[in-house]
Amino acid sequence: MAQQSTIQENVLGGGNRDGGNMDHGSTFDVLVVGGGPGGYVAAIRAAQLGARVALVEKERVGGTCLNVGCIPTKALAATAEVLTGARRGEALGVLASPTLDFGRALQHKDAVVAELVGGVEHLLQAHGVVVWRGRGRLVGARAVAVESGGQTSELLARRGVILAPGSAPAVPPFPVADHPGVVDSTAALRLPTVPRRLAVIGGGVIGVEFASIFAAFGAAVTLVEYLPTLLPGFDPDLGRRLQLAFRRRDIAAHPRSCVESVAVGNPLRVAASGPRGRFTVEADAVLLATGRRPAIADLGLEAAGVRADGGAIQVDDRLETSLPGVYAVGDAIGGPMLAHRAMAQGRIAAENALGADRRLDEDAVPACVFSTPEVATVGLSLAEAERRGLVAEEVSFPFSSNGRALAAGEGIGEVKVVCVPGGGRVLGVHVVGPHASDLIAEGALAVRLGLSAREIAETVHAHPTFGEALLEAALGCQGAMIHHLHAKAPPSMGRG
């Protein structure tokens, strides 16, 4: 609270010194370019601190996440989860024959998006943020030009500019035919029907989520990934376990396979080569899930003196660019493209622009995948810890030994804890299985606060819950796992 009061005093006391001769209608304390999770959160946070804020957005607020990313895919994933659960019901004593109404599923998706977009618009209005519709371009350390309807307006900032332009689908590194059945993740949300056969190119987060959704909807799904495991960049064990789970659901996954072309025909044909040679995937629709790239073109970065290397805006640990007073957040600065990371950066950038000195602990940022089963991770894998020169070990506990998971018919997966040997500091937590996206919050807190596995183990977890899997893994770090045989020898009771 003391820091917030200091920031408010700074902005309210210092904002008028620079802008006495500026047009009040086009002069603000903070300008934010981009209304996605990083941008709208930055705008609201700056307004909470007493700043006069303008947000420039050319489309609907909410960005990719809210309009064509996280939220609509999770709405469809919820439909898929209900379908999957109903089909699993026979083993639990529930006899049902669920039928998908794809039209209603799409209506549900659109209704959720509309409600949340409207909610963000209301929040911006309630905080007094002025929304300028148009394309924003940086024209100086304290100026943004807004182009709309053939006209250009110039907005001025007394304290700082925050760039949050987001990202766009990456161009695939192979020939792709122009065909309505060849879609990116945005167009996949608008498919009029469920394809009988779906080929997914790319086994990252987007690819495995859509593979899970459409497999639940009844499509025969084949997934092709160039790297050795699904979910590249995650702990490899998570990708391997997810592939095994996919196999049980008849989702064909081909890691270590290179797509050579996508050809038009009836059906569409994906030509690829893998460890066993060349092969062809026939499909009625092809999803290009080959990643995303920062959307930084036409932002005026070079002319303004903002450095961008490797296709991303370069920032320091305070999220300030090479041009003092200009900050950047979210997908545009590279790294994990996560909405919650962008939101945290938005808050930090807003506070720093108004006089604070905050930084983000990147190791404590979780990542979640809403596949079936879910995957979530935070902190370091064992290999990453060893690359940093840390002495570490990993201990896993399977959901097949968790009472709640078995009762729910969801015994696939595990919780893994990476920690300093002997129950020391938690360096990472990795989950594949039911409710992984919820369970990872405790892991993120442990990594953020530097908690030990011993401290997690000494915290009573309610029974029977999925969260007990993390408790057991933490116990296993001390050789004290209760509900699963674990090879590690227990320490003596006198060990400190």
Residues carrying an active site annotation:
463
Q: Report whether 281 contacts 272 (CB < 8 A).
A: yes
Torsion of CA 203, 206, 210, 213, to 10 degrees: 110
Residue type, 447: V
CA–CA separation, 98 and 110 (whole Å): 22
Bridge partners, 461 (sequence order): none
DSSP string, 1-58: -HHHHHHHHHHHHHHHHH-TTS-GGGEEEEEEE--SHHHHHHHHHHHHTT--EEEEES
| Other Cβ atoms closer than 10 A to 14 | 14
- The distance between the two most distant Cα atoms of the chain, rounded to a whole number of Å, is 76
- For residue 356, report the phi and psi dihedrals to the nearest 5 degrees: -85, 180
Q: Cα–Cα–Cα angle for 435, 437, 443, nearest 5°?
A: 105
Q: Which pair of structure tokens corresponds to residue 421?
A: 């040997």
Residue pointed to by tokens 């990476």: 418
Residue type, 353: A
CA–CA separation, 116 and 73 (whole Å): 14
Backbone torsion region of residue 259, taken as left when φ is above 0, otherwise alpha when ψ lies between -120 and 50, otherwise beta: beta
CA–CA separation, 32 and 42 (whole Å): 7
Cβ-Cβ contacts under 8 Å for 4 (sequence gap 6 or more): 49
Q: Which pair of structure tokens corresponds to residue 2?
A: 């003391």
Return the sign of the alpha-carbon dihedral for residues 31, 34, 38, 39: positive
Return the sign of the alpha-carbon dihedral for residues 432, 438, 440, 442: negative
CA–CA separation, 375 and 174 (whole Å): 29
| Other Cβ atoms closer than 10 A to 99 | 8
